Structure 1
């Protein structure tokens, strides 16, 4: 059910964004952005400091449409100053380059001024809505293109030049905003159901482990339970 609902969610997004149209008009992403660059890639660990430094996002902090502050690293102010080109602004997008290549998320207000490590940084132009672009980049439609242009025999690796050539549907800003509102409305209900399913899976796994532990440690009489079930 979870897989089917996830598939349904993707189909709804593609339909509302017009990605299922056969005559869709697109343009390379570079024409809808102010900046496409990459975060710190040369020995980023050399700049690591404690939590008093500047937050820096890594690939493990980014999944499709979400940014996690778990395992967030910090870099020194000197390192941040040396890599100003990858300074993040609210409304920017960061895109994973390695592993889960193509996963994208919008930078929230609390990470304005942070930096990033080995992520593609996309700064939309004024006529490109950030959330709209996030939905586009995380769609199966875009993922197929990411796979096409990714390199690497062990882990797929997506680079800046490929991101610049990523095709994006051409719609006026007002239409982008309206479509984004529709997608938000449709997807939010599905995501609530998916979250409930995930919580149920966790509880069931915990229950299963508790029963196994109880049986192994003798807290449950397995023979009696077996006879009761047979009866």
Structure 2
């Protein structure tokens, strides 16, 4: 819906055609923009550190050319809410479409229109079922956008610049509060899983650089002495004999984002368990993400239900009472940076943690009673902080929804120009 007076509509490709200029990505460009340099939903540019990896797109292949004032839109799902206006000339990833707004179209107004949930949702829906979900320009360019008079576009863009900046400041404040809570949580866990609960206990060198000193009465042992380590696989998705909604729980690597793990991604049959050599893992156990360049690699979660896993997860199943799964999970959280760096070495293991690395990893082993006390202390702290965190997150979600609703209302003409400071 849009106001009938003076507002028109047009297909995007007629008012913001593609630039379609390409250049070698490795050339000496003043600025390179990748998907990682654009913040989702806000249109803000994010600076990134120079990459040493010469195989990255920024160094090889081709890049799209953009000019100051062009509007960039990410075509790769789940990055379809990534769009920005170019502040200067440069080049960008070929996963970004470069549009040249016509004289009748304010670039900032176009940017806000592209970031509405309705527009992003329409483009996103066009990629469903695709093996590599990239939105096509044929589809995007055929979508109609609203065209109020140019003066009204400027009023709307200026209004949204002001109002979204105000909301963004509130969002940033909430995010800082969440970050501080996370830092406090991580600091507590790091301290108690490596030093215990007694601040006066005698210490000794652990012999592990990532660990430092530990209580003198604790042991240091490889995980393989205390637990079984293994991983799983993904049965062929084309084989109907392997999958069943009423089957055995099968987990992918996304589950390590929430602990304990109690919900399955999909379910496999007994045939799949047998023919695909899938392990049956019973709690207590810990799951670890072992592949990928995202944050999942190195993350750990306690397994709360009997399940099997794919090849991107490893399981660590204690085989002795000397190791508590909850303590191990907290300890691996402290070891996250070490696991990431240790798996970034050269060779075939680059970007992956192997089961052998996990099995040989030396960890501190307090007496079981201390492990239980440590987990209880962490649980008490979380019981206090989680309600606060949940309240802040709910407020943050409301602000994010308010931002999206405001943009939609403005670009669809639901807010009179006089209310926007005309």
TM-score between both structures, scaled by the size of structure 1: 0.84
Match of 1:17 in 2: 193
> Residue 317 of structure 2 is aligned with which of 118, 123, 142?
123
Q: 1:226 offset after TM fit, Å?
A: 2.0
Match of 1:150 in 2: 343
> Residue 8 of structure 1 is aligned with which of 177, 184, 187?
184
SS at match of 2:413: coil
Structure having the higher helix fraction is 1
For 1:182 and 1:136, locate their aligned partners in 2 and report how far apart those are by CA, in whole Å.
Answer: 14
Q: How many pairs align?
A: 219
Match of 1:103 in 2: 299
For 2:258 and 2:333, locate their aligned partners in 1 and report how far apart those are by CA, in whole Å.
Answer: 6
Q: 1:162 offset after TM fit, Å?
A: 0.6
The verdict on how the C-alpha distance between 1:134 and 1:78 changes in structure 2, with shifts beyond 3 A counting, is: same
For 2:394 and 2:260, locate their aligned partners in 1 and report how far apart those are by CA, in whole Å.
Answer: 18
Q: Answer yes or no: is 1:63 the counterpart of 2:257.
A: yes
Q: Is the 8 A contact 1:65 1:134 kept in 2?
A: no
**Structure 1 vs Structure 2 CA RMSD:** 2.5
Q: Which protein shows a greater Rg?
A: 2
Q: 1:184 offset after TM fit, Å?
A: 0.8
SS at match of 1:190: helix
Q: Is the 8 A contact 1:104 1:138 kept in 2?
A: yes
Q: Mean Cα displacement is larger for which, 153-162 or 127-136?
A: 153-162
The verdict on how the C-alpha distance between 1:155 and 1:208 changes in structure 2, with shifts beyond 3 A counting, is: farther
Q: 1:83 offset after TM fit, Å?
A: 5.2
For 2:365 and 2:343, locate their aligned partners in 1 and report how far apart those are by CA, in whole Å.
Answer: 24
> Residue 283 of structure 2 is aligned with which of 80, 86, 90?
90
The verdict on how the C-alpha distance between 1:68 and 1:213 changes in structure 2, with shifts beyond 3 A counting, is: farther
TM-score between both structures, scaled by the size of structure 2: 0.48
> Residue 134 of structure 1 is aligned with which of 315, 329, 350?
329
- The C-alpha deviation readout for 1:43-96, integer Å capped at 9, x for no partner, is 5535641312221111022226343637x1222211113456621102111111
In structure 2, stretches of 5+ residues that fail to align are 1-176, 197-202, 204-211
Matches within 5 A, 1:119-198: 119-124=313-318, 125-139=320-334, 142-151=335-344, 156-198=351-393
In structure 1, stretches of 5+ residues that fail to align are none
- Report runs of 4+ in structure 1 exceeding 3 Å deviation: 19-22, 43-48, 82-85, 151-155
